[in-house]
Structure 1
């Protein structure tokens, strides 16, 4: 099995692209979903956040007030480092488990939906291909303001915290241009999925991993025979 990474800029329409992939039966591991799950009440990251930031970032229900926490860490680099140190290891651990489960199911490939794919190189060496979802700057700004209720100044500030979209596009294997209609976006996504499904990379990886596993097992058997002979 090979792994494909999909990313983009904030409000460029990544969720639209991954929704199309899901409809096509592509297995997907969504880092945003995992990020919400690992901070559910009682979870390890939830407890650490409560210790580090106090009650002011929690709702009466015990759930994290994501808006309050977001504003706090967005305006303070040190607090942002703290929250990343708490959540990132938990997120990456769960991503690895979910990818492993897809491998054990015998999937040809899995798509890893990771917003900060290029900002964080942790998974870069594991990716066969990368996809970036892009759109025109003005459209991105308008979408973000409409979606989150930000002022223009707030929206620009959020966009500028990320790696420039143009730079991500240069680093990607595929770019999905999402400035137009959903039908136009779908055509692009279907073409990429068709390409991935035609790949034989998974067979090569299975041969490599299978050969390596056979070698390890052979060495273990030989060692046991030597010990007990």
Structure 2
């Protein structure tokens, strides 16, 4: 079974993905694919350098994410231009990893897609959508506590993503990750994994 996993920034989606991986699911992380493509020597870097110039590259030849984030908030077209470079490559790599997971016999494949709701392309590709949710204040607090982030930057990202209501409306299953211990969160994740792929 193919599951789409999504949640707003700071919702705990990555933690849920890790628990699903521990439960034996094949997890395809589109954010990780994007980071690989835009890292030093990444397949997207020549096109990114051509599109944005050397100022948007680190000394190692990777995408300067802080500079790109700042540019995208001041120039909305920058985000669209970056996505035009990355999305076809991410799509191709996602398909390749999905096919490889099927060939190895994986019966539960998780597509970890932060912008699943925003893209509008995923609903027909997966059997279920799992949304990780929490209050916006909790999202802000979690993200602002990350290295290199400010409360203003966290709020700007939050404003650019789908609303909680939009994500919740897309959900076949929802985990409300508010005030949960890691143990309680893991128990919910394992319960869902067992429903979707019983051990027997």
The residue aligned with 2:109 is 110
The CA distance in 2 between the partners of 1:126 and 1:72, in whole Å, is 32
The normalised TM-score by structure 2 is 0.93
2:95 equivalent to 1:87 = no
Aligned partners of 2:25 and 2:107 also within 8 Å: no
The residue aligned with 2:21 is 22
Q: Structure 1 residues 66 and 153 mapped into 2: Cα distance closer, same or farther (>3 Å)?
A: closer
Aligned partners of 1:27 and 1:111 also within 8 Å: yes
Matches within 5 A, 1:48-127: 48-127=47-126
Considering only aligned residues, what root-mean-square deviation do their CA atoms show, in Å? 1.8
Where does the alignment leave 5 or more consecutive residues of structure 1 unmatched? 201-229
Q: How much does 1:153 deviate? A: 3.1
Aligned partners of 1:6 and 1:131 also within 8 Å: yes
Q: How much does 1:199 deviate? A: 10
Moved over 4 A (4+): none
Q: Structure 1 residues 20 and 44 mapped into 2: Cα distance closer, same or farther (>3 Å)?
A: closer
The residue aligned with 2:45 is 46
Q: How much does 1:39 deviate? A: 1.8
Q: How much does 1:148 deviate? A: 4.7
Matches within 5 A, 1:1-229: 2-180=1-179, 181-198=181-198
The normalised TM-score by structure 1 is 0.82
The CA distance in 1 between the partners of 2:58 and 2:92, in whole Å, is 27
The CA distance in 1 between the partners of 2:164 and 2:199, in whole Å, is 27
The residue aligned with 1:219 is none
Where does the alignment leave 5 or more consecutive residues of structure 2 unmatched? none
> For this pair of structures, how many residues does the alignment match?
199
Bigger fraction of residues in helix: 1
